[in-house]
Chains A and B, each alone.
Chain A
Amino acid sequence: MRSRTAPQTLQGQPGGLQTKRSRREFLQAVGAGSTIFFLTELLEASAPAKAQAASAATQTVTEGHPPGDGVQQNVLLRMQADLRRALAKPVHQRRWVMVIDLRKCVGCYACTIACIAENKLPPGVVYRPVVEEEVGEYPNVTRRFLPLPCMQCDNPPCVPVCPVGATYKRADGIVAIDYNQCIGCRYCIAACPYNHRTFDAGEFYTKGTPKVEDYEKIPNFEYGRKWPRKGDEKSPAGNARKCHFCIHRLEAGMLPACVTTCIGYATYFGDAKDPDSLVSEMIGKPNVMRLKEELGTNPKVYYLV
């Protein structure tokens, strides 16, 4: 499904013993990763007081974060605290932004997969592709990775073109789609300068097998509603679809799936209207850029370079 150049090179190492050792190491790594992920999710769902205690307990964890107010904190806990603060405000006083540190992205695609799992995305629909590019010439050659969520533009070209007002900008700046209003004309897909939107043609991964598996029909919870997949042209099949910063998670007090899953702490999220938030600190730096700023779309996804 995805370009697998790098993993194939790793898996292709010769030697049975080496393979066995690698597998053991891999299983250990998966076990450790799962534990961390589980603990993170657990912490997210916990009460503010617990989170505060946890924050204090993990202050020595220093991976991937800029200095806050002089105290080194785990970025996920910091962002969760930022999120809770933002949710306490009226919706129009929030301005959700995402910051992606390209220096830390290792191209693992955990964000892509987490997004697919979270939103139960069918084949051909992707909210967070990661564009790979090889730069330089041997011996000075490297790969760089560019995660591409929806830019949630302040001046979104996809919104005015919609003939039925199905796509709109929310008070908190997120560009949303009313699935039951969308007629599937795909004008918004053509109008997006970031080629972000995708068309849900109604596909299933297990189509063409003896049975379309039930796990493909379970509902997703985009926009805070249940969207079961019934196998006909019922929405969201037949619609344009896009990243929505996991609104349903945000409103439940959780960070977007791509943020919590990022293994390198390369993706940050928060309220840019809160001067104390992590993202506010980050986007006030000179090494920040946004994609295609010349178009005047004013994206709310920032890249650290």
Chain B
Amino acid sequence: MFQRQWARRAVYGAILVAILLGLIGMVQRLRLGHLPANYGSYVPWGLWVAMYVFFVGLSAGAFLVFFLHHALGIQVLRRVSPFALVAAFLSLGAGLFLVWVDLGHMDRVWKLFMDFTPSSLMAWMTLVYTLYGLVLVMALGALAGGSRSLLRRLSWIGMMLVMVFGGGEGALFGIVSARPYWNSGVLPLRFLFSGLLAGTALVTLLAVAFRRWPADDEHRRMLTFLGRVLLGLIGINLLAEFADSSISLYSAVPATVEAYRLVFFGPYAWVFWIVQALLGLAVPVALLLYGQRRGSGVAAGVAGALLLLGVFAARLNVIIPGQAVLGFGNLPQAFVHPRLATTYFPSPIEWLVAFGVVGAALLVFLLAVERWRILRVEA
């Protein structure tokens, strides 16, 4: 996994620093409640919610790789499919942890189960996440037990749940008619496709960075396959995003157009042009095409990392601008307070908690890869 000891120390050191920062953030969150956070009333959902939908999408995409091997029998993914399952489990956990931290009353989370409200999509999503989490736990157990038939069945059930919550998380936003920028039937598909893309990119990155097998011909064939899947998913994502944005812009609903204007030309336009379009799309496509031709593992790994960045930026560009445009333009001036503003940038505490969660998920993953027998796939 680590060719050199210094690399191992550097990675674990960075992770421990991230976890330490996250602990500081969590202590502040628990001590001061929501006071140190920058979200408020007109932008009620901030970094943590954006990361929650991103991580849940990662879980969906990682599970796709597991499904391709165990349900569809794609042997070239044999080595990486256990990685994918662990990544799917940890991503789900990280996402749900972040949305839990985001709750106004963390201690009342049990009400989601005990006071289930059928009219609420969020309530149904809670149920689906729970079922999916159980499937992941059972799949991890089946992986340890070596039960291939159970793994196949679980991968089919899990994939169905992936389709439900992968699209459902987009529907959480898409059904909100109060926010015209979100209110689109294509949004659930965009969230599903971008989640599958990000999760596959994550597995590609993990396979390149933390593999426990030689970089032999099978490894190269695996990366070639994953590269093609990524390119295909990028194409599908572009199609869905074009369908959504072109129809929205052409129909010229003022609030939607204003939100797109913020994305393209607003104060955070660099997130779209530099992070999402250039680093998160153009560069990885070039790297993937290069990797396909030359069989470069590094190119595939870097492309995976950049795609993760691009999808995260895309998530931010859906969630934040959708809230930044109000039905009454002068409302923030009607009663002035930082929490009654349409501008939002995450506070240091929000960043710290986010770093900590990413660090913790990565630490568990690395420990599992290093120490868990079933992740040591024979060459």
Interface string of A134-163 (1 = CB under 8 A from B): 000000000000101000000001011111
Contact status B331-A195, CB under 8 Å: yes
Asked if B120 and A197 make an inter-chain contact with CB atoms under 8 angstroms apart, the answer reads no
CB proximity to A under 8 Å, residues B95-114: 102-105, 108-109, 111-112
**Chain A residues whose CB sits within 8 angstroms of the CB of B120 once the complex forms:** 160-164, 187
Question: Could you tell me the distance in whole angstroms from the C-beta of B35 to the nearest C-beta in chain A?
Answer: 6
A281 to chain B, nearest CB (A): 28
Q: Which residues of A contact B330 (CB under 8 A)?
A: 131-133
Chain B interface size, as a band, is 35 or more
Taken together as a complex, chains A and B put the C-alpha atoms of A272 and B268 apart, in Å, by 47
Q: How far is the CA of A233 from the CA of B44 in the complex (A)?
A: 17
A187-B336 Cα distance, complex, nearest whole Å = 22
Whether B335 lies near A203 (C-beta < 8 A) is no
B41 within 8 A of A: yes
Given A2-B336, A130-B334, also A183-B111 (CB < 8 A): yes
B339 sits at the interface (CB 8 A): yes
Find the residue from B117, B178, B339 having the highest chain A CB count within 10 A: B178
Is the CB–CB distance between B105 and A233 below 8 Å? yes
Partner of A132, one of B34, B126, B333, B340: B333
When C-beta atoms are compared, the residue in chain B nearest to A198 turns out to be B41
Cβ-based interface call for A295 (8 A): yes
Residues of B within 8 A of A207 (CB): 35
**B contact residues around A133 at 8 Å (CB):** 330
Q: How far is the CB of A115 from chain B (nearest CB, A)?
A: 11
Q: How far is the CB of A124 from chain B (nearest CB, A)?
A: 4
Within 8 Å of chain A (Cβ to Cβ): is B3? no
- Cβ of A187 and Cβ of B40 under 8 Å apart? no
**Bound form: Cα–Cα A17–B33 in Å:** 51
Q: Is A190 an interface residue (CB 8 A)?
A: yes
Q: Roughly how many angstroms separate A191 CA and B328 CA in the complex, as a whole number?
A: 15
Whole-angstrom distance between the Cβ of A20 and the nearest chain B Cβ: 31
Complex CA–CA separation, A186 to B44 (angstroms): 6
Choose among B40, B179, B328, B334 the residue that contacts A190 (Cβ–Cβ < 8 A). B179
> Is B251 an interface position by the 8 A CB rule?
no
B336 touches A1 (CB 8 A): yes
A295 adjacent to B177 (CB under 8 Å): yes
> By the criterion CB–CB under 8 Å, are B335 and A129 in contact?
yes
B103, B119, B179, B339: the one within 8 Å of A160 (CB)? B119
A201: Cβ under 8 A from any B Cβ = yes
Report A195 CB to chain B, min CB distance, Å. Answer: 5
Q: Check A162/B117 contact, CB under 8 A, given A132-B334, A186-B104, A189-B44.
A: yes
List, in ascending order, chain B residues with CB within 8 A of A233's CB: 33-34, 104-105
Contact A238 B179 (CB under 8 A): no
**Taking A2-B336, A238-B104 as contacts, is the C-beta distance between A192 and B122 under 8 angstroms?**
no
Q: Are A184 and B105 in contact (CB under 8 A)?
A: yes
Tell whether, in the assembled complex, residue A238 and residue B34 are in contact, meaning their CB atoms are under 8 Å apart.
yes
Task: Tell me, yes or no, whether B323 is within 8 Å of chain A by CB.
Answer: yes
Give chain A nearest CB distance to B177 CB in angstroms: 6
Task: With both chains docked as a complex, state the minimum distance between the C-beta of B175 and any C-beta of chain A, in angstroms.
Answer: 8
For the complex, give the distance between the alpha carbons of A146 and B334 in Å: 10
Q: Do A201 and B40 have beta carbons less than 8 Å apart?
A: yes
Residue of B nearest to A161 (CB): B120
Q: Verify A148–B331 contact, CB threshold 8 A.
A: yes
Q: Is A253 in the interface zone, CB < 8 Å from B? A: no
B45 within 8 A of A: yes
Q: Which A188-215 residues sit within 8 Å CB-CB of chain B?
A: 189-195, 197-203, 207
User: A199 and B104: CB pair below 8 A?
Assistant: yes
Residue of A165, A181, A190 touching B178 (CB-CB under 8 A): A190
Q: Are B37 and A201 in contact (CB under 8 A)?
A: yes
Nearest-neighbour CB distance to chain B for A185, whole angstroms, equals: 6
User: With the chains together, A295 CA to B336 CA distance in Å?
Assistant: 27
Residues of A with C-beta under 8 A to B109: 183
Report B-chain residues with C-beta under 8 Å of the C-beta of A200. 104
Enumerate A105-139 residues with CB–CB distance to B below 8 Å.
112, 123-126, 129-133
Ranked 8 nearest A-B pairs via Cβ: A184-B104, A238-B104, A124-B339, A193-B178, A129-B334, A186-B44, A160-B119, A198-B41
Known contacts A189-B41, A198-B40; can you find 5 more A-B pairs with CB under 8 A? A161-B120, A195-B41, A198-B340, A199-B339, A200-B104
Query: CB within 8 Å of B: which residues of A?
Result: 1-3, 112, 123-126, 129-133, 146, 148, 157, 159-165, 181-187, 189-195, 197-203, 207, 232-233, 235, 237-240, 292, 295
- Pick 17 A–B contacts, CB within 8 A, sort by A: A124-B337, A131-B330, A131-B333, A148-B328, A157-B176, A157-B177, A164-B117, A183-B104, A186-B44, A186-B45, A187-B172, A190-B178, A190-B323, A194-B178, A198-B40, A199-B34, A203-B339
